[in-house]
Amino acid sequence: MYQVIIAEDEFFVRLGIKNSVSWEKYNMQVVCDAGNGAEALRAIQKSCPDVLITDLLMPGMGGQQLIESVRDAGLEPYIIVITCLEEFKTLQKMMSLGVRDYLLKATMTEAEIQASLQKAREALDKQARQLEPARAPVGNRFSQLMQAYLADESLCRQTQGALEELNLSVSSALPVVLGTIAEVYKADSQASGGLSEHICQNLVDLAGHQYTPGFRCLPLMLDERRFFLFFFPEISRSGNTPDLHALLERLRGELQDYLNIRLSLLADRAGDFARLPACCRQLLSAQKRQASDQTDGIAFLPNYRPEIRAALEIIRENLSDPDLSLRSVAEKVGLSEAYFSSLFHAEIQIPFRKYLTNMRIEEAKYLLEQGEYKIWDIACRTGFSDEGYFSKVFKKVTDVSPKDWRKL
C-alpha cells in the first residue's frame, strides 16, 4: 500500500483532504498529516512516503523549502502541491523539483482531489511494474530499465541504483551514441532494410564484447533501424579516458565485417545521467536536422566552450522558470550580458532568446506526446506565463496549435 503524507497548516483544509477520500480505493494510506513543513520533513525522513501532498505557504518551513529538502535527501515521492493563483509563479519554478500535479486551494473539489490521486496511483503502479526485479540477462534487464527511464525522467535515482547493482558505473560523463542503419547487405545483393531479430542479437553481443576497452557498452533498440549505445566506464579501470572516436570506428568496422551492416553514428561525448532522457532527445532532434546525404560515418555534437556548456545545462534544468533570461544565465556563468549574448550566438548559431524558445517548444512537444498533462500544465512546465501566450508561441513555431499537435 502506498504511503501518503499531507502537509497543510490550515486544520480544516487538512482534515477535509484526509476525510474526503477513500484511500484504500487508491491503494494508499495517510501515515501522517502535518501542520507545518518541519513536522512533515521529520515524518518523511522516517517513513519515506510514496506521495507528498503539501501546501506552498506554511509558517516556518514552507512547501518549497520542504520539497527542496526532500530532494536533497535523495527522496522522490510523487508530489502534489496545494496552491493559490497568486503563488502560481512559484509553482512554475518548482516543476524542476519534480512537482507532478497541483490543486487550487480555494476551488478544489472532492472530484479533483480523487482525480489527482488516481493519476498518482497510475504513475506509481507503472513505476513499480517497470522496476520490478526480473531474473533476466543483463542485456534484457538493462533494456527494461533504460526504456522505463527514457520514458519517465522521475525514475532517475531508481534506475541509477538498479544499474549499479548490475555493476554498471553511472558517472557524470556518460557517452551516448545514436546509431542508424544506413544500409543492410543481404547475401551478395545490396538491399536496404531494417534489422532482423537475429542481427539485433548479434549487435547486442558485439557492442557488449571487447571492441570498447575502458567502457562497457550496451545498446537499446528503438526500432528496426535505430538504437542507442550507452558507454559505461569500467569501474576497475584507471588512467586516460579511451578515445571514443577510435572505439566507434572499431565497432563500426566489426559490425560491417561481421553483420554486413553500415552505420551512421551521432555521439554526445559527455552526457549527465540525470539528463540522459534530454540528451537522447537532443540526439534524435539533431539527427532530424542533419542533411539527407549525411548517411554514413561518425559525427559528434559540438564541443562548446565551458561557459556555453554550462549555459546550455542551466537552460535545460530551468525551462520551467519564467524568469530565465539572457541576463540571469550570463550572471550564472560569470560573463557580461553583452559578451555572453555575442558568444552564445557565435557558438550556437542562433540568438539566445530564439534558442530558449525553441528548447521550450521542444519540451512542450515531448510533454504533449505523453498525453498525461493538461495544456495549462505544459505551459507552466515550460516557463510560459499563461496558456494563451504559450499556445500563440507554439503555433508560431510549429504552425499548429498544441491541441492539434497532440492529435498528430
pLDDT value, residue 62: 86
Residues 6+ apart with CB under 8 A from 72: none
User: Spelled out in words, what is the top-level CATH class assigned to the domain 2-130?
Assistant: alpha beta
Distances in Å between the alpha carbon of 97 and those of 72, 119, 160, 311? Answer: 10, 18, 18, 19
Give the start-to-end residue ranges of the domains of the chain: 2-130, 138-300, 306-407
Mean pLDDT, consecutive 10-residue stretches, the chain (408 aa), reads 91 87 90 90 87 89 88 84 71 72 84 90 81 56 87 83 82 80 54 53 61 72 83 58 75 75 81 78 73 61 78 86 93 94 88 90 85 88 90 92 86
DSSP secondary-structure letter at 186? B
pLDDT value, residue 382: 92
pLDDT value, residue 239: 46
pLDDT value, residue 60: 85
Specify the residue for cell string 507554439: 394
pLDDT value, residue 335: 93
306-407 is a CATH 3.30.413.10 domain: no
139 in Cβ contact with 218 (< 8 Å)? yes
369 in Cβ contact with 392 (< 8 Å)? no
Q: Tell me the CATH number for domain 138-300.
A: 3.30.70.270
The C-alpha cell at 82 is 496545494
Matching CATH topology for 2-130 and 138-300?
A: no
Q: In terms of C-beta distances under 8 Å and separation of at least 24 residues, what long-range contacts does 304-309 make, across chains too?
A: 304/347, 304/348, 305/343, 305/347, 307/333, 307/334, 307/335, 307/340, 307/343, 308/343, 308/344, 308/347, 308/348
Residues 6+ apart with CB under 8 A from 336: 330
**Full-model pTM:** 0.47
pLDDT value, residue 261: 76
β-strand 261-271 against 297-300: which pairing, if any?
Answer: parallel
